[in-house]
Amino acid sequence: MNLRNIIALLAITGFLTACGEPITFKNIPFDQPNVKDALQKICQEEKVSYDLNSKIDRCKFKDKVPIFIVNYGALTDATAIFELSEQDALLSVQMSGSKSEMLAQATLLTEKYGKPSKTTEQVTNGFGTKFDQEIFTWTDRSGTRIVIESIYTKVDQGRLTIDSATAVKTKASAEKAGLEAAKNRL
């Protein structure tokens, strides 16, 4: 089980300290039905450097997984990938940015939600050079979770993920089922 899955398990079981303020995306709550209109409004009103949102009609949410450009704290012109439920409840948001943007975002989120759980892992690139990947995790009382990874796909590229309590539980169940299936193949 990798560190990300251990953090998820700790968050679900309540071993991580919960932040007092409910985690939202631009004041849109997670796991609440009928938030699609509010997300569309953000998409339409977002001031970004290039207007990709309207050029390709992203704000109508015709795609199964809506994607549009947002500014979110220290992340500017970030591509945001959203997951909505059948009832148009916000389940998750994922964005990427530079390592420095992610570390700045962690500072901003610490001011808003309090001190996160923080871990550091060593990662190695293809040339054998080692880097410290910092992982920050905030979990609110409902189980909604923010995870910032300072390094994700490249050493200078990080990721921010916000998962609703429902998404956290679904991912944990899928991970557990995957492990069981792997055990059965031994």
The residue written with tokens 């759980």 in the block is: 117
Structurally, the chain folds into a number of domains equal to: 1
What's the helix, strand, coil split of the chain in %, to 5?
35, 35, 30
pTM comes to 0.82
Domain around 171: 3-184
Cβ atoms of residues 138 and 145 within 8 Å: yes
pLDDT at 45: 81
pLDDT over 80 (residue 184) = yes
| AA identity, residue 75 | L
Mean pLDDT, to the nearest integer, of 135-142? 96
Cβ atoms of residues 31 and 91 within 8 Å: yes
- Give the integer Cα–Cα distance in Å for 58 and 52: 8
- Give the integer Cα–Cα distance in Å for 108 and 72: 10
Mean pLDDT, to the nearest integer, of 13-17? 46
pLDDT at 182: 84
